[in-house]
Amino acid sequence: MSRLRLTLACGEYELTRPLISGEIRPDGIELIPLTMKSPERHWRMIRHQEFDVCEFSLAQFFMVKAQGLPFAGIPVFPHRRFRHGYIFTNTKAGIGGPKDLEGKRVGQRIFQNTAALWMRGILEHYYGVSLQAIQWINQDEEPLPLQPKHGFEMRSVPSGDNLDDMLVKGDLAAVIYPDHLPSFQKGNPNVGRLFPDVKREEMKYYQDTGIFPIMHTVVIKQSLLDQYPWVARSLYHAFFEAKEICYRRMEDPRKIALAWMEELLEEQKRIMGKDPYAYGLGDENRKNVETLCQYAQEQGMIPRKLKLEELFIESILEQVPKYL
């Protein structure tokens, strides 16, 4: 029997590599992997629905569901990242802690970026920062129509300028960014981090909340599922098998070019358990998704907090394998 040919747009991670290489083949499906970075694949999926299956921004997934775009989610989360280390400050702006951001100009790539949403929510709920007391400066066009909550002051980066240069010059006190800013990578003395000891801060946050922030999920075009409803379960199990291969490879010190890899892995297991990249909607992931959804509703990205059953295909929720 011929397999159903489907395009998969995703990042090239260890968690997805077995799917990209063909080592794992979903039952009944021939995947055509299209590896690309975000935000390109997010834009192309939102604007043109180019892919059958797509690794997708969790924050923007809330928005497309609220706005009625025909995407369905499976509880696969191929990208997570703590974000405390991605708040960069101008070292001359007098910022000694999160509360010092109040009354300042803070840049972000876009408002609806998942990394920025997590950190705004964490700043407000975990550190007591008033988001309405900050002037937000956005660099890029929002992919989806957006009307932030009343009280948010938002402006655009001046034409011909960019967040990194503005931070170096002192036109911005801080920037929340998905990746390391070029000025920080180059060691510019005018640019530092809000949290100097990032690992310590992130570990404390995890121990207090149990949240390892989910950045991306996986969406499928609804028109495809209407015709082939079995595709969701097949893909879910394939992503799960790919993750298990990733974990087994991580146990082999010959495959990871880190001198103290085994010690780091043991530390991660001790703090976060044996499956920190869990798929499915167990208690830890429910809290994770519901927390970000709450932030999205509070900040005006969606009109109401969405239920998990509205976001993810119910048939997948019935049987969720556990990492052994």
Q: Do residue 193 and residue 131 come from a single domain?
A: yes
Rounded to whole angstroms, how far apart are CA atoms 1 and 238? 19
Q: Do residue 100 and residue 198 come from a single domain?
A: yes
Q: Inform me whether the pLDDT recorded for 316 exceeds 50.
A: yes
Q: How confident is the model at residue 320 (pLDDT cuts 50, 70, 90)?
A: very low
Confirm whether 323 is domain-assigned: no
Tell me the three state secondary structure of residue 171.
coil
Q: Inform me whether the pLDDT recorded for 30 exceeds 70.
A: yes
Q: Do residue 73 and residue 126 come from a single domain?
A: no
Q: Do residue 68 and residue 32 come from a single domain?
A: yes
Q: Inform me whether the pLDDT recorded for 99 exceeds 50.
A: yes
Determine whether 186 is exposed, middle or buried from the number of CB atoms within 10 Å of its CB (0-12, 13-18, 19+): exposed
Rounded to whole angstroms, how far apart are CA atoms 310 and 305? 10
Q: What is the mean pLDDT of the chain?
A: 94
Q: What is the reported pLDDT for 321?
A: 47
CATH number at residue 301: 3.40.190.10
Q: Do residue 65 and residue 129 come from a single domain?
A: no
Percentages of the chain per state (helix, strand, coil), in multiples of 5: 40, 20, 40
Q: Do residue 110 and residue 164 come from a single domain?
A: yes
Q: What is the reported pLDDT for 318?
A: 52
Q: Inform me whether the pLDDT recorded for 47 exceeds 50.
A: yes
Pairing, β 214-221 against β 71-80: antiparallel
Mean pLDDT of 241-270: 94
Mean pLDDT of 166-193: 98
Rounded to whole angstroms, how far apart are CA atoms 100 and 286? 32
Residues of the chain with pLDDT > 90, as a percent, come to 91
End residue of a domain, out of 209, 225, 241: 209
Mean pLDDT of 217-237: 96
Which domain, by its residues, includes 270? 4-81+213-318
160: left (phi over 0), alpha (psi -120 to 50) or beta: left
End residue of a domain, out of 175, 193, 209: 209
Q: How confident is the model at residue 1 (pLDDT cuts 50, 70, 90)?
A: low
End residue of a domain, out of 173, 194, 209: 209
Which pTM does this prediction carry?
Answer: 0.95
| Number of domains composing the chain | 2
Q: What is the reported pLDDT for 323?
A: 38
Q: Do residue 72 and residue 98 come from a single domain?
A: no
Q: Do residue 244 and residue 202 come from a single domain?
A: no
Mean pLDDT of 302-320: 80
Q: Do residue 100 and residue 194 come from a single domain?
A: yes
